[in-house]
Amino acid sequence: MDLTAEIHAILTTIKAMNRCWTEGWNEKLFRQYIHPDAVAIVPTTSGRLEGQDAYVAGWRAFCEAAGIHEWRETDHKVRIYSGGKSAVVTYLFSITFVIGGQKQTMHGRDMFFLVKEGRKWLVVADQFSPEPVQS
């Protein structure tokens, strides 16, 4: 089975969702990519962000506090499961932003779990972390 078109659709979804917060906060559009029961684990918040509202609020808070100067995604990997109904996407990222007057660059990795509802892919789970410092 050729999954090229489905992989393209999944990566298009992830990249479009990321543009909603890296190229200026677009909450209405961002929300459309997030499942109502989404969950995220992020390094700056204890526990989990549970539900679409909490997930969106987490990204809104970052976008309101930080000025993003650069965002890059590389090395995307997509794995499709459950007969084309779910997928895992991983990639590496680099982000440069200013927060509290301090310019920072963070290198990290992101992992998303998506489900297909109708013809649309939605983010159900997200976990990102900074890349470990090399010794």
Q: Where are the domains of the chain?
A: 4-130
Listed residue (36, 40, 76) closest to 61, CA to CA: 40
- For the segment 120-135, the average pLDDT, to the nearest whole number, is 90
From the options 3.40.605.10, 3.40.309.10, 3.10.450.50, 3.10.580.10, give the CATH code of 4-130.
Answer: 3.10.450.50
Average pLDDT over residues 58-66: 94
CA–centroid distance for 128 within its chain: 8
The percentage of the chain sitting over the pLDDT mark of 90, rounded to a whole number, equals 88
Threshold 0.75, pTM exceeds: yes
- Per-residue pLDDT for 22 more than 70? yes
Strand partners of residue 80: 87
Per-residue confidence at 133, pLDDT binned at 50, 70, 90? Answer: confident
H or E element in which residue 104 lies: strand 102-117
Q: Centre a 10 Å sphere on the Cβ of residue 21 and count the other Cβ atoms it contains.
A: 20
Q: Averaged over 11-35, what is the pLDDT? A: 97
